[in-house]
């Protein structure tokens, strides 16, 4: 099993969710996060005082899936989250050792 984690622009979340659902993904976890990549932060000016805002608001999307589905999910996220501009985010995949469905106690792929 794999864990696919994506950091995307907050306003792309709706499209990413719809695209993943369209591709057959049945569950995901979404959280509000902050960070920066190559685009760095940005500058804001309040009453003449310049503030360097280092951390930019982003949304983290996490999907646990079967090994065979991971590549397709990455493709779907890249295709739906992108704007072509700097700051679009990243997607990565890591191996998941164990998985359990809390309600039934099912383990491994049965819990997906």
Partner 1 sequence: MHYDSGDTAWVLASAALVAFMTPGLALFYAGMVRRKNVLAMLMQNFVVMAVVGVLWVWVTYSVAFGPDWGGAGLLGTLHFAGLTHLHQAVPGFTGRQAQTIPPVAFVIFQMMFAVITAALLSGSAADRMKFSAFVVFIVAWSVLVYAPIAHWVFSPNGWLARAGTEDFAGGTVVEITSGVSGAALALVLGRRRGWPQDLMRPHNVPLTVLGAGILWFGWFGFNAGSALSATGAGQAFVNTNTATAAALLSWIAVEKLRNGRPTTLGAVSGAVAGAVAITPACGFVDTAGATVIGAVAGVACALGVRLKYRLRVDDSLDVLAVHGIGGLTGMILLGLFATATVRGVNGLFHGGGATLLGHQGLAVVCVAAYAFAATALVAWVIRATIGLRVSADDEQAGLDLSQHEESAYDLESAFGGSQRVAATHQPPGEHT
In the complex, the residues that contact partner 1 under the rule CB under 8 A are: 32, 44-53
Which residue, 38 or 47, has its beta carbon nearer to partner 1?
47
Residue 48 or 84 with smaller CB distance to partner 1: 48
Structure tokens at 18: 């719809």
Q: Which is nearer to partner 1, 28 or 112 (by Cβ)?
A: 28
Buried b (16+ CB within 10 A) or exposed e, 46-58: eeeeeeeeeebeb
The single residue listed with the structure tokens 């500058």 is: 43
Q: Minimal distance in Å, beta carbon 59 to partner 1?
A: 11
Q: C-beta of 57: minimal distance to partner 1 in Å?
A: 13
Q: Which of 80, 29, 82, 38 is nearest to 56 (CA)?
A: 38
């Amino acid at each position: 099993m794999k864990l696919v984690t994506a950091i995307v622009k907050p306003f792309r979340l709706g499209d990413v969710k719809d695209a993943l659902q369209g591709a057959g993904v049945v569950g995901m976890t979404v959280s509000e996060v902050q960070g920066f990549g190559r685009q760095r932060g940005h500058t804001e000016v309040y009453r003449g005082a310049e503030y360097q805002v280092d951390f930019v608001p982003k949304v983290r999307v996490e999907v646990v899936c079967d090994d065979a589905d991971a590549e397709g999910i990455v493709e779907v996220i890249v295709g739906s989250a992108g704007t072509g501009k700097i700051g679009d985010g990243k997607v990565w995949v890591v191996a998941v050792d164990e998985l359990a469905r809390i309600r039934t106690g099912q383990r491994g792929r049965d819990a997906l």
